[in-house]
Amino acid sequence: MTDLLTRPAAIDEQPAFLVTPPPTHIPPMMIKPPRDPRWKKRVAGGAAVLVLVAGGGSAGAYFMEEHLNSSTSVAVAGDVATITEGTDLAPIVAQVQPSVVTVLVDSNQSSSLGSGVVLSADGLILTNNHVIESDGTVSVRLSTGQTVPAQVVAADATHDLALVQATGLSGLTPVTFATDDTVAVGDTVLAFGAPLGLEGTVTSGIVSALDRSLDTGEEKLSGLLQTDAAINQGNSGGALVDTSGRVVGINVAIATSGDSTGSVGLGFAIPADTVTTVVTQLKAQVR
């Protein structure tokens, strides 16, 4: 199988990735990032940890030679369903999948992709800022396979979120957001997106920690959800949802070990309250 990953070369050492609270038994880590500032490698006790932002964008964590074909709602009240062994998650997937899209950015030099979620019936899409920050033509591919032109209408680099307006669409199903006070460590969650370009992918796990902080080298994100649901490059901007199908977070980053760039069960998502606040601010810029 052709290797579609682009891996920049290493440069001088500099600080990166901080998770709060840090483990007290691990000594300070030395960091040696590759040329792409979003890729950060730190070594402790002989084990390397690579922290990167999933998905595309100018930082180019994931580039493909070709793409694989394959009104904001906030916090609906209601209890989260209890998941037990043998519980069928298919109804949740069927509910959320139509509201998850793939965001594509094409230029003369390269093509990249990330994920996004539908905010309005006419095609307002939320994704990560790092997915769309590179120069190029933006388009959105729906879960049906339909691809339409799009343009970036507002962005917040500080919180790594952006709004993209797809054209010529109607009748889409917007996602519904939960609130942070409905999320607890141990809750079952599902991650939606296009990891490694494999669109329409869903993985499951739990919320494994709350209130993490992450320094990608360009953004310092805080209050993040941590999950062991498999998140990989291309999941950026996709939905992390609870068992009621509500979005509890927007996938933004992963940590990997050694020279691997794959999931090791440490993914991070921007929590719903932060997302809805930023979306309100970004929508005000569009008017």
The residues annotated as belonging to the active site are 130, 160, 236
205 contacts 189 by C-beta, under 8 angstroms: yes
* 103 closest CA partner among 29, 47, 161, 23: 161
Instruction: Specify the DSSP class assigned to residue 246.
Output: -
Report the C-alpha gap between 48 and 9 in whole angstroms.
16
- Interacting residues of 133 by C-beta distance below 8 A, sequence separation 6+: 57, 58, 59, 155, 157, 162
131: tokens are: 């997915």
160 contacts 221 by C-beta, under 8 angstroms: yes
192 contacts 239 by C-beta, under 8 angstroms: yes
93: tokens are: 């997937």
Report the C-alpha gap between 139 and 93 in whole angstroms.
24
118: tokens are: 């539908």
27: tokens are: 């000594």
Q: What are the strands, taking DSSP E only, across 98-231?
A: 100-106, 111-118, 124-127, 137-141, 147-156, 161-166, 176-177, 188-193, 201-215, 220-227
Report the C-alpha gap between 112 and 126 in whole angstroms.
17
Instruction: Specify the DSSP class assigned to residue 97.
Output: G
